[in-house]
Structure 1
Amino acid sequence: MNNSSLNNQLLPVDAIRILGIHKRAGEPLVFVKCHFDYNPFNDNLIPCKEAGLKFSKGEILQIVNREDPNWWQASHVKEGGSAGLIPSQFLEEKRKAFVRRDWDNSGPFCGTISNKKKKKMMYLTTRNAEFDRHEIQIYEEVAKMPPFQRKTLVLIGAQGVGRRSLKNRFIVLNPARFGTTVPFTSRKPREDEKDGQAYKFVSRSEMEADIKAGKYLEHGEYEGNLYGTKIDSILEVVQTGRTCILDVNPQALKVLRTSEFMPYVVFIAAPELETLRAMHKAVVDAGITTKLLTDSDLKKTVDESARIQRAYNHYFDLIIVNDNLDKAFEKLQTAIEKLRMEPQWVPISWVY
């Protein structure tokens, strides 16, 4: 069957298994990680719902045939996994990038061809401030790697969700396996501060020159002084054989998610407002902190956490809701150990 006619000739799933599962000799196997949930029975565009392949976000699929511009043939990688049609990268990008304004839900049944004219689709581009077309992630080509230690562990989250506490606990408990960077600053050292401990002190002109040269992963200004994390300082930790733990701004993921840093990215999500309020009260009562946060402050943390998750969800390897620091640490520790014991699916650019 000619694959280009898939939009007119509707294949049952069995036919796809028989006709589509065989690849051309010498053609490389293609595997993708899905960054969205898909159910063909909720899809008004698929030519045949019964021929569609349902999948969940995070699942790995083998792409069998992608000659058709709109519908690819794929199968689940797990043993005995089913096969079927999935929307192509091109089709799903169009769907994600635009908002449907007018659509006729009626469509042909499987095994029939309809000549009935459809209403035209009208689209309005979204004008969401968080929307970035280049951030749309549909499928990501991946390769299977044997167990290995990631070069970096990147903790993403809103301010006040406990990232620093988790990072410090890992380093204190196992300094031979985990380390972190020392931030640079242009401010003058205080009397009790030694260079290279809490901060590395440099002149403002030197720091500005290095920022301009792209030597900083991230930087910012506070009370007239510059602060930042140098890229080389991450690599220095990695070169000692340790995993470098970073708690950085999510924008930094665009730089870090390469073979040079091979990050395991964990989103530390804020719990519900009531839980966060109780956790804050507990640390204040225990004398762990003297900083009192208002309900407005706590709500900002919850809202910021939700915003980061919406915007950067496709980068996360794991999401942990921190409603209890000890339990969150255990979950993170279990995930890190698993990386050293089980094969991993990683972006193909890390391998080739």
Structure 2
Amino acid sequence: MSRGHLIVISGPSGAGKGTLVKRLIQDVANTWISVSATTRPPRQGERNGREYFFMSREAFEKAIEQDRFLEWAEYDSNLYGTPMGSVLEHIDAGDEVILEIEVQGAAAVKKRMPECKMVFVEPPSLSILEERLRGRGTNSEASIRARMETAKLELSRKLEYDKLLVNDDLDTAAKELADYVTGLTD
């Protein structure tokens, strides 16, 4: 059995990463989405090991000391990280491991695992990205402005990635991503 790959998928909020990853998991066999660890409490309906690995802050900090994360960061007073053990187990089992993560985290993963494959999902334009964010109806005006500024910074780093994917038409982008991932094992 051949080893799988770690495929890191990044891009601005609203670019369609989550939707493309869901399609990828449906369309390509032996794909597995990496589950992050967090110190935040579970929300209603969330299960440990499915949405996140829920950890105490003390346990998370001990895991940091033991170098058990590919990357980790603190957001909104909670710690989030990618457990290295489960990622490596799935790669060794031949799975294509999908890690959907923001740009800074992706750079940290690339340093730890230079062999990972990096995919950047971008919108067709900034104006379409803004339309998508507004269309969600869940973001405040301040949040939309902040996300647009972050998007500009993230887009400036897209050339650091192995594969650029413009999500203009969902079916086309989903096929392009599936073809890229299946091409890694050919």
TM interval, shorter chain, is: 0.7 to 0.9
Larger Rg: 1
Which of 11, 21, 26 is equivalent to 1:157? 11
SS at match of 2:118: strand
Contact 1:265 1:318 in 2 (8 A): yes
Distance 1:254 1:275 in 2: 26
Contact 1:270 1:305 in 2 (8 A): no
* 2:154 alignment partner AA: I
1:187-336 aligned within 5 A: 187-190=40-43, 192-257=45-110, 262-280=115-133, 284=135, 289-292=136-139, 294=141, 297=144, 300-301=147-148, 303-311=149-157, 313=159, 315-336=160-181
SS at match of 2:21: helix
Q: Which has the higher contact order (CA 8 A, sep 6+)?
A: 2
Residue 334 of structure 1: how far off its partner (Å): 2.4
SS at match of 2:154: helix
Give a deviation string over 1:2-41, Cα, whole Å, max 9, x none: xxxxxxxxxxxxxxxxxxxxxxxxxxxxxxxxxxxxxxxx
SS at match of 1:275: helix
SS at match of 1:153: strand
* 1:263 alignment partner AA: C
Task: Provide the residue aligned with 1:172 in structure 2.
Answer: 26
Give a deviation string over 1:75-125, Cα, whole Å, max 9, x none: xxxxxxxxxxxxxxxxxxxxxxxxxxxxxxxxxxxxxxxxxxxxxxxxxxx
Query: How many correspondences in the alignment?
Result: 185
Distance 1:188 1:299 in 2: 25
Contact 2:9 2:118 in 1 (8 A): yes
Q: TM-score, normalised by structure 2?
A: 0.78
RMSD over aligned Cα, in angstroms? 3.1
Change (3 A) 1:224 1:236: same
Residue 190 of structure 1: how far off its partner (Å): 4.8
* 2:91 alignment partner AA: V
Contact 1:276 1:298 in 2 (8 A): no
Identity of aligned residues (%): 28
Which of 332, 337, 341 is equivalent to 2:182? 337
Any gaps of 5 or more consecutive residues in structure 2?
none
Distance 1:254 1:190 in 2: 29
Residue 244 of structure 1: how far off its partner (Å): 0.4
SS at match of 1:265: strand
Change (3 A) 1:240 1:307: same
- The answer to which structure has the higher helix fraction is 2
Residue 170 of structure 1: how far off its partner (Å): 1.2
* 2:11 alignment partner AA: G
* 2:25 alignment partner AA: I
Distance 1:259 1:292 in 2: 34
Contact 1:150 1:263 in 2 (8 A): no
Contact 1:256 1:262 in 2 (8 A): no
Residue 216 of structure 1: how far off its partner (Å): 1.6
Distance 1:230 1:279 in 2: 31
Give a deviation string over 1:156-197, Cα, whole Å, max 9, x none: 2122211122112211334x4200122112233456433212
Q: TM-score, normalised by structure 1?
A: 0.45
Distance 2:171 2:108 in 1: 30
